[in-house]
Structure 1
């Protein structure tokens, strides 16, 4: 008996457990279903809910006339689930055959891909970007096993056009360069979301009443770019690069009155639709990212500083050495050719490095530095493009003794092409510098203006009077004797300056690699366009006037063809040397009026607004004071004496020409009615007939010229050995 009691007790415990277990389960079920049911159902609902993004469409970029430069297209990925309900092997093969009708892939390749997929047999990607007609056909089949996934992809309709301005996006749609990077957040917008449910197998199902957050599409950028002019610029710089066998060419066109960038281009370039196919250097916007020594285009700073500080007179004459070389602080400074005696205007129109350095050395270093800074050198322009370099302009305490003369001709200073253009745009705009910009307006998806860029004035770089005095000087650069003759266009007034700078490589300035440039604006008296052309390492011809100047002319001629407003700007004929000097308030070379009719002489003098006295009776000028060829004070009246003379008997006195420049002598002889026989160039040292002899009009006067050194010197005790022989280029 006693031995059975423990066993009975264990059985009783087991029986109680068996009897109460269903009760416990029932109580737990009751708690879950009734007491805590609402909370558990809410938790289950939260765990099965998910969100699918609704992609926002990236904003468009258009030119100033609304033409699309960057837009989007819908790319459809085609996948298949061969195990979806209703998908038989025959239907799978049928899908493969239908898709193959629109692509370059065969149906057998699609079938093989489906059957060989092991990793994810229920999601097999057949095409990542299927043709639109293929997508429409597959969608019409209405098969659950066909998966069509749409996404937005960036597209640049004109391929390379404006590539460096626009930039490109990466595979995730984020801007990498250009406007795409600067305005990335605004262009991307904000994605929306669609709420869905997922079952325990991860399958997604929609449900009625599911909340949805609509996407906020990106803004549209309306730029200052003119698509027509941009295309012209890109075509011409490609031609220029090929013609001069150059390493690269950069061009910028700007509205000097507002700062709007009308065009900006570089070659080599790239296709933003496939940026990885081009090397990294081709994707760099060299117009704002490359710092160069600007060469003679920097002489604008020297001219403004010297005139504004009254360190030079417009009637001043500069004598350059006979061999075109000058030792400056122990370093050899060269002109591109021996230039002889030069007027102030000719110093810049013929681009004399020696005379420019002489002028600059009259200006205090701190003043010269301030003018360079005022003209934008040494600081970024803050254009709305990424990766802009600030340039390099040393402070005066960092200068060596040779810095000022060499900086005056564009060395020991670095600038981007845009900085050079900005300085000339300020010159064109009466000395008022404007901030350059590319985006004019931003608009929402409905076309409503969100923001509009207002042209921003930066500073006044010089007095308007200084600008007006210098304008004829830089117009003369495009005259027959100027360094930019190749940039001149008949009927269109242009002002500007050439530049040809040796490239600093391997610790020194070589003699084979150059930057050739031309910066200018037109029409010069009412500027609408300012333009900078930079040619990197041209071959054959290295000078800026020939290379960059020619490209400038071709672009300007074509802009004139598309912008009819240029034809409405009145053309003021290019004045001769005397007329220019009169406008500048200088002393002029007296023309020869002897032999001319009274009416001709009066008309000429009145046109120049010169005072004069005429004595005697008759219809021909017999005598004059000052005599022809002498310097004339424009504040004193010209005296003429008239008498009678038959036209067939006109024999004029040959003027004194010795000591004049070849150009001045030629103008004097032609004004007197003589033909000119020129021998050599530079300063006139001999003539035939001799001064004072009489010669009939129409006969030739022979003049002989040569360069001469009249002792112009620059103290060599202010020398430094910082730079080797540099210069000699216009």
Structure 2
């Protein structure tokens, strides 16, 4: 019996020891890194007994080239803390100050589940700066008028700017030597939010907070603490090259013409800067399939790629004025079955203007016979195979990229394709394994317009401190490698002009625009079918304008469409018209 009591006693002592150790582990030893999940118990404890209103999360912001904010605004907001429903307070004065019924405020407080109430334009309460002053003049505990940083409901450039996500594990992985300053640390996961994440990280947030007990009642009376970010340098602003007005117009035009998959890229030619970039479908945080920025994705270019073949043909003196091509034939040299596809005998210039596949398949074969790598060589000279986006050393980043998700272009799937007449023919018209990004095609057009000078594309010009001083400037970069000559650029420009000027050119619809356009159309088979068994195509138009003194390069892509009239021309036309009207104004 005594033995059994001893065993029970030892067991109880051991059990108590384990419990005491566990309590010490939670309360003293592993307060900031508990269990395999690395839980910060102190922070979780603070979360449980703290209620707060984030006025400004302290994360850096994006502005356009004229310092206009993109995708965020500061809304006049009334904050009502929930403990007000348990106290007598001058609700009549507040109602009179903001012209809202007393019973409406009371109803809102009754309906809250111990969470602060935020009333602003998005909630149907039209408040202005004078209202905020009137609210704060009352000095009612638990009632505040603030200007709250808020994402705009009609976000623009959403794919370009990207998204953030609350992810403490990823935050610690990226910044192991930094101290977490937020209860819910965010990281950029797409677009510029991802590229500039380290610069955008908050030093601290501006917030209102108070401490509560288990029932949501104030622990220290009705005092609410205001914590403001007093750092004069942070948060920073990323100044993009985007023109906010033209970005909005681009997105409206794409929606109007029902471009459901695809988008456009508009570049300023002089500095190779992105003025507008829009991708469809619209970004939906709840649907990962919409995250991809199509303008940075490599895809079949179709006849737009004939520009590369034309450049190589010009430089190798392959094109003689008297040479013609039988464009009644298809890409494989067989007579076209459909009569409407027969174009008769055409010169090289006419073949380019009317996009004759047979002519460029023939030229491609001859080019490969002269030099096996000539097609990729000229694609590289025009900037289609390298990354087009700005990259370089920025502080401790040896290769910082403004477009981290940009894909490379490709020409051949396998060297054996260069020994196959059919594969060469398909490659020469931008099919088979040819894939390039719309961004790269826009930059190719800008390169031709600049006389052959290749530049990396910028979408961010500067990083600015909070006080407006410059933290970092992204200088213009030339692209490495060989380039086409000014003479070749001039001849390519003449060809691109004929696409629009020729009575039967594939870009003749642009003849009525107020400025002269040089460009190239493209229709690429994707090799896939829709639900009805119809072939799907990518429709392109890429060009620059005004042709005499080029200012802009523009690419429009309408992806996965069945055959028929392309919407790309409509979008291109209206975008040029819009830019011209804006410049005239």
- TM-score after normalising by structure 2: 0.70
The alpha-carbon deviation at position 549 of structure 1 amounts to: 2.3
Check if 1:57 corresponds to 2:58.
Answer: yes
Helix, strand or coil for the counterpart of 2:491? Answer: helix
Give the structure 1 partner of residue 83 of structure 2.
81
8 Å CA contact 2:325–2:345 kept in 1: the answer is yes
More moved, 55-64 vs 454-463: 55-64
Helix, strand or coil for the counterpart of 1:503? Answer: strand
Distance 2:313 2:337 in 1: 20
For residues 306 and 527 of structure 1, do their structure 2 counterparts lie closer, same or farther at Cα, with a shift above 3 Å needed?
same
Distance 1:490 1:539 in 2: 27
Give the structure 1 partner of residue 491 of structure 2.
469
Q: C-alpha offsets along residues 178-220 of structure 1, whole Å, 9 cap, x if unaligned?
A: 32332233234422899x9x9x9975999xxx9x974742222
Check if 1:485 corresponds to 2:515.
Answer: no
Pairing partner for 1:441 from 459, 462, 465 = 462
Distance 2:90 2:222 in 1: 23
Check if 1:286 corresponds to 2:294.
Answer: yes
The alpha-carbon deviation at position 314 of structure 1 amounts to: 3.5
For residues 369 and 82 of structure 1, do their structure 2 counterparts lie closer, same or farther at Cα, with a shift above 3 Å needed?
closer
Check if 1:265 corresponds to 2:278.
Answer: yes
For residues 347 and 559 of structure 1, do their structure 2 counterparts lie closer, same or farther at Cα, with a shift above 3 Å needed?
same
Distance 1:80 1:528 in 2: 57
Check if 1:553 corresponds to 2:573.
Answer: yes
8 Å CA contact 2:513–2:577 kept in 1: the answer is no
Distance 2:267 2:319 in 1: 31
Pairing partner for 1:230 from 235, 244, 247 = 247
For residues 224 and 104 of structure 1, do their structure 2 counterparts lie closer, same or farther at Cα, with a shift above 3 Å needed?
farther
Alignment of 1:680-695 (within 5 A): none
Helix, strand or coil for the counterpart of 1:488? Answer: helix
Unpaired stretches in structure 2, ≥5 consecutive residues? 1-49, 167-183, 391-401
Distance 1:512 1:55 in 2: 50
Distance 2:507 2:499 in 1: 6
Check if 1:339 corresponds to 2:360.
Answer: no
Pairing partner for 1:217 from 228, 231, 234 = 234
Alignment of 1:691-710 (within 5 A): none
8 Å CA contact 1:189–1:216 kept in 2: the answer is no
For residues 399 and 150 of structure 1, do their structure 2 counterparts lie closer, same or farther at Cα, with a shift above 3 Å needed?
farther
Pairing partner for 1:300 from 307, 310, 318 = 307
Distance 1:68 1:309 in 2: 50
Distance 1:161 1:416 in 2: 21
8 Å CA contact 1:192–1:214 kept in 2: the answer is no
Distance 1:193 1:106 in 2: 28
Pairing partner for 1:353 from 350, 357, 382 = 357
Helix, strand or coil for the counterpart of 2:389? Answer: coil
- TM-score after normalising by structure 1: 0.57
Distance 1:108 1:190 in 2: 37
Give the structure 2 partner of residue 423 of structure 1.
444
Check if 1:389 corresponds to 2:384.
Answer: no
For residues 336 and 370 of structure 1, do their structure 2 counterparts lie closer, same or farther at Cα, with a shift above 3 Å needed?
farther
Larger radius of gyration: 1
Give the structure 2 partner of residue 20 of structure 1.
none
Give the structure 2 partner of residue 372 of structure 1.
379
Distance 2:337 2:427 in 1: 12
Distance 2:97 2:562 in 1: 53
Give the structure 1 partner of residue 151 of structure 2.
155
Pairwise CA RMSD: 4.3
Q: C-alpha offsets along residues 266-313 of structure 1, whole Å, 9 cap, x if unaligned?
A: 34425xxxx54x74444532111x332100000001101122123332
Distance 1:391 1:104 in 2: 64
Distance 2:245 2:110 in 1: 50
Give the structure 2 partner of residue 580 of structure 1.
none
Pairing partner for 2:159 from 145, 161, 164 = 164
For residues 541 and 82 of structure 1, do their structure 2 counterparts lie closer, same or farther at Cα, with a shift above 3 Å needed?
closer
8 Å CA contact 1:294–1:411 kept in 2: the answer is yes
8 Å CA contact 1:489–1:557 kept in 2: the answer is no
For residues 104 and 315 of structure 1, do their structure 2 counterparts lie closer, same or farther at Cα, with a shift above 3 Å needed?
farther
Distance 2:101 2:305 in 1: 58
Distance 1:529 1:104 in 2: 56
For residues 464 and 215 of structure 1, do their structure 2 counterparts lie closer, same or farther at Cα, with a shift above 3 Å needed?
closer
Unpaired stretches in structure 1, ≥5 consecutive residues? 1-50, 118-123, 566-730
8 Å CA contact 1:78–1:149 kept in 2: the answer is no
For this pair of structures, how many residues does the alignment match?
Answer: 481
Helix, strand or coil for the counterpart of 2:257? Answer: helix
